[in-house]
Structure 1
Amino acid sequence: MSRLPQISSSRPFGYPADDAPLSCGAHSLTKLAKRFGTPLYVYSGDQMLERLGLFQAALAHREHLVCYAVKANSTLAILKLFAERGAGFDIVSGGELERVLAAAPEAAGRVVFSGVGKTAEEIDRALDAEILAFNVESEAELALLAQRAAKRKRKARFALRVNPDVFAETHPYISTGLREHKFGIDIREARRIYAGAKGNRWLTPHGVSVHIGSQIRSAEPFGAAMMRVAKLVKQLSQDGIAIKTVDAGGGLGIDYHAAPGFDPKAKVAEYAAALEGALKGLDVQLLLEPGRFLVAQAGALVARVLYVKRNGKKTFVVLDAAMNDLIRPALYQAYHEIVPVAPRAGRAVTVDVVGPVCETGDFFARDRKIKPIEPGDLVAVLDAGAYGMAQSSNYNSRPRPAEVLVVGREAKLIRRRETLADLLGPEMV
């Protein structure tokens, strides 16, 4: 039996040989850690583009636009990578718009602006940038959009984000499709709201948008939501409102355990078929907003073991990475595979993998079996490409990690490691 941990082929990380360290493509994580230090985010740009291509190929027969959900990972080099392959972008803040414009200004017309709390300043900036559309989440927001558009004398294309009241099995923090959630407009009210906006010269009813949650593993809820959207689009057509786009949102999940049966291509095909079945006969452009599915498995957080500490029956592996670098386990009790970069021989032992932050919640795994590990060893926290760096912080005054993007034979630093000077810079005494 191999001494190496099993890593699913759906990930871009693997051991090239029994005596070789974990690698991303042609690049050893040992060498990348030596070159760039730890903690370190390492991403496979090749897998990101491959996943984008799965959606584009599955929908090649229909006019469509894959709008990458910037909130999943907003690093500029990644945005540029997607833009160069024709992707659009789903943003939820003015800051994310600025990131898209900095990385790929030519992609402004492929941006949809979602989010429940858009400010007047954010709306103005998006109008000036001539984005594709606003996904409007309340009647009050639509009124503000009309006001700002009139003041700037720019027509605003909008889609109501309707709430279809469809249940999707996922973590309650990332479920968004029920009436009790803060997102969207009751689908039963949408027809009235579109009719009211029809006569406003500064508003253009352009689409209908829906988003039911994140990390959803079944295609059925997406199809059910899209059936309700399709019915609304037909009703709006009867009202003389021609809808140009239907935005299916994002939310297609991955397998963080990466079981052997997880097939990304099959998942995308199943998802696309569910949407197509609901939209059959409708002449609309289909917008998608995948985030996690494109980038999560493409990333790993590489960390060095500082100490192996035994308290009674418990063994703690203390890393130089912490919850400020990857908060998902502490926030959602999320599962991430953790593997040694250069595995040692011997039987796996049960440990808690933790960070140095002064919180009991600062952990990556509890009671996890892992190959023998010693201080100075490197480990990789897998599936960390989404909601890792994007949710990072400077808690405990810890500088955030560096990021490296691997594309083909090149491993490129795309964000330098923060310094204490960066942390102290904005403050005054």
Structure 2
Amino acid sequence: MSSATPPPSSSDASPAPADSASVSPTAPISDSPAHAPSPLRHRAVAAAVAQGLVGPATPVAGLLDVAGICRSAAELRAAFEEFTAPGTPVLHAFAVKAASLVPVLRLLAGEGLGCEVAGPGELALARAAGVPPARTVLDSPAKTPAELREALALGIAVNADSFGELARLDALTGSAPTGSPLGLRVNPQLGGGSIGAMSTATGTSKFGVPLRDEDVRDRVVQAFLDRPWLTRLHVHVGSQGMPLELMADGVRVLYELAEEINERAGRPQVTTLDIGGGLPVNFASDEVAPSYRTYARLLHTSVPGLFDGRYGLVTEFGRSLLAKHGVVLARVEYAKSAGGRRIAVTHAGAQVATRTVFAPDSWPVRVAAYDAQGLLKSGDPVAQDVAGPCCFAGDLVARDRPLPLLEPGDHVALLDTGAYYFSTHFAYNSLPRPGVYGYAPDPDGGLRWATVRTAQELDDLVAESGGAHGDALTRLRATHSSA
């Protein structure tokens, strides 16, 4: 797409929209965020509307701030470089599930990041983005023999999730030598955070080898002693809702296990520690908190040996790199009242904000109100529901939210949606996946745009829903009837 400058307006100086959302259900929702939204975001919304990226024919789209993404990647690298001994190999592998979009993966690769993949689809995306095998890590609790063979043939790092998978690797590496770095994921069983579904270090988590179960620690140590090719340990305590102290405690447990294994082996057998990701995101305002530097400093204080150069490091951050740099922008189709409550019916609901709709207390989203030209709306806040297009009553992205009065033709922006909202589409009502577009400022003060993902056409939707096999069941019925 071409460069575009939005129509002249005072949007950059407009007051912040009357909206916010809290990270936890106990935090109050205020009428304005702690920090005014980025003027670049305002310009991007206005430009997207002016260019027709969002309009009557395409009523919802995703917008990604390229400069913001690159800034987050640079902050991650700098945070760990500050505390890590010179020459220590560090791979920051982006968790592909957070934004499974090839252009995003290629952009991050250009910023020095690799990819953490959790299945053949994500691996295919990483390869399409040009991410080399040496900068790719395969994690999953259910890897098939075919997936493992492919990874081992390519030289991709693999973290086994169970003793059963280690046995499978025994057979595969015995029949075909590999250059893949191989490790084992352990569960330190430290407990969960405020969101159970995001807590991966509980006593009964499906992930990793449960380190505190009876005799398991000894079995882990012996598994390494029996396998000289096993050189990595992996841990991931959890993501959103996890306190940093618990995350750091999980890394400390991993480090101490590595030290024990190496002492028993009489040599540095474990050479790399994969400490996972999961840095929580502040969804209550534009403030980035906690920062990567805050987390790296806590790790340096809690586990100083982690950074002394004896171990290579791998991280697997996802949400924290992208969330703040994305917006779901949707047109308001209708406005009405029910039981004294105003309702703005938009085109952004459960199909793009699945977690927000089904678990609003855990995944609240801030909503900004823009007018028909894409300029920030002003006016006294009115409590409103912001509804999506799906055919069930609970399809609401915001409930009783104070916003300037929304009318048909206006727009709503769901903020902090750069991670997961574009890669976990919910195909309820066969709603097509929206287009995703990246933007960046140009030297002339305008914005340049690029298509990240083309909006799904209805013909494509029909095709993936079995359109080519339309009469398959009818033929079976005819065969059955004549039998």
Write out per-residue CA displacement over residues 18-68 of structure 1, whole angstroms, 9 at most, x where no aligned residue.
Answer: xxx92249x734335447833100011211111111111111134221111
| Cα pair 1:216 1:251 within 8 Å, conserved | no
- Counterpart code for 2:105: L
Matched, 1:382 2:452: no
Q: Secondary structure at 1:243's aligned position in 2?
A: coil
Deviation at 1:190, TM superposition (A): 4.2
3-state SS, counterpart of residue 411 of structure 1: strand
- Give 1:31's aligned residue: 50
Which of the numbers 201, 210, 213 marks the counterpart of 2:235?
210
Which of these residues, 432, 451, 458, is aligned with residue 420 of structure 1? 458
The SS at the match of 2:236 is coil
CA contact (8 A) 1:191 1:232 kept: no
Deviation of 1:234 (Å): 0.9
Aligned match of 1:152: 176
Give identity over the alignment, percent: 28
- One-letter amino acid of the counterpart of residue 407, structure 1: A
Which residue of the partner structure matches residue 406 of structure 2?
373
The answer to which of 154-163 and 172-181 deviates more is 154-163
The one-letter amino acid of 1:66's match is H
Query: Relative to 1, partners in 2 of residues 1:82 and 1:34: Cα closer, same or farther, differing over 3 Å?
Result: closer
Contact 1:304 1:378 in 2 (8 A): yes
User: Is 1:238 aligned with 2:250?
Assistant: no
Q: Aligned-pair distance for 1:382?
A: 0.5
Please give the alpha-carbon distance, in whole angstroms, between the structure 1 residues aligned to 2:327 and 2:377: 20
Judging changes above 3 Å, is the alpha-carbon distance between structure 1 residues 225 and 180 closer, same or farther for their aligned structure 2 residues? same
- Alignment match of 1:316 (pick from 313, 324, 343): 343
Residues 171-186 of structure 1 correspond to what in structure 2 (within 5 A)?
Answer: 171-186=195-210
Distance in structure 2 (CA, Å) of the matches to 1:299 and 1:23: 14
- In the TM superposition, what is the alpha-carbon distance from 1:310 to its structure 2 partner? 0.9
Residue of 35, 42, 66 corresponding to 1:22:
42
1:337 to 366, 369, 373: 366
1:66 is the counterpart of 2:78: no
Query: What 5-or-longer segments of structure 2 have no aligned partner?
Result: 1-12, 19-31, 443-447, 471-483
Instruction: Return closer, same or farther for 1:396/1:23 CA change in 2, 3 Å cut-off.
Output: same
CA shift at 1:228, angstroms? 1.1
The residue that corresponds to 1:121 in the other structure is 146
TM-score by length of 1: 0.90
Q: 2:35, 2:128 → 1: CA distance?
A: 31
* Count, aligned residues: 416
CA 1:160/1:418 → structure 2, altered by over 3 Å: closer, same or farther? same
Asked if the contact 1:352/1:366 (under 8 Å) is kept, the reply is yes
RMSD: 2.4
Rounded to whole Å, the distance in 2 between the matches of 1:227 and 1:196 is: 20
Q: Larger deviation: 343-352 or 190-199?
A: 190-199
Which runs of no fewer than 5 residues in structure 1 stay unpaired?
none
Q: Which is greater in Rg?
A: 2
CA 3–278 in structure 1, closer or farther in 2 if over 3 Å, else same: closer
> Is residue 38–residue 304 contact of structure 1 (8 Å, CA) maintained in 2?
yes
Report the equivalent of 2:277: 250
Superposed displacement of residue 97, structure 1: 0.5
Q: CA deviation at 1:222?
A: 1.8
How far apart, in 1, do the equivalents of 2:364 and 2:304 lie? Answer: 37
1:160-187 superposed Cα distances (whole Å, 9 cap, x missing partner): 1111122342311111111211111122
Letter in 1 for 2:74: G
Deviating more after overlay: 109-118 vs 150-159: 150-159
What is the SS of the residue equivalent to 1:121?
helix
The amino acid across from 1:174 in the alignment is M
Distance 1:238 1:258, change over 3 A: same
Report the secondary structure of 1:214's partner residue.
Answer: coil
Q: 1:291 to 1:377 in 2, by over 3 A?
A: same
The 3 A distance-change label for structure 1 pair 70 and 149 is same
Q: 1:230 to 1:110 in 2, by over 3 A?
A: same
Q: Report the Cα distance in structure 2 between the residues aligned to 1:383 and 1:332, rounded to whole angstroms.
A: 16
Deviations 1:270-309 (A, max 9, x none): 2102222343235101211110100011101000000002
CA contact (8 A) 1:170 1:213 kept: no
Moved more, 318-327 or 302-311: 318-327
Q: In the alignment, which residue of structure 1 is the partner of 2:382? A: 349
Counterpart contact for 1:236–1:242, Cα < 8 Å? yes
Residue 400 of structure 1 deviates from its aligned partner by 0.5
C-alpha contact 1:316 1:353 (8 A) present in aligned 2: yes
The answer to whether residue 247 in structure 2 is matched with residue 222 in structure 1 is yes
Residue 229 of structure 1 deviates from its aligned partner by 1.2
SS of the residue aligned with 1:23? helix
CA contact (8 A) 1:156 1:204 kept: no
Find the counterpart in structure 2 of residue 52 from structure 1. 73
On the 8 A contact 2:200/2:238 being kept in 1, the answer is yes
Q: Distance in 2 between matches of 1:337 and 1:325?
A: 14
* 257 and 33 in structure 1: CA distance in 2 versus 1, 3 angstrom threshold: farther
Structure 2 CA distance for aligned equivalents of residues 97 and 181 of structure 1 = 24
- TM-superposed deviation, 1:87: 0.6
Amino acid at match of 2:378: A
Q: Deviations over 1:210-231 (max 9, x none)?
A: 1111114632112211221111
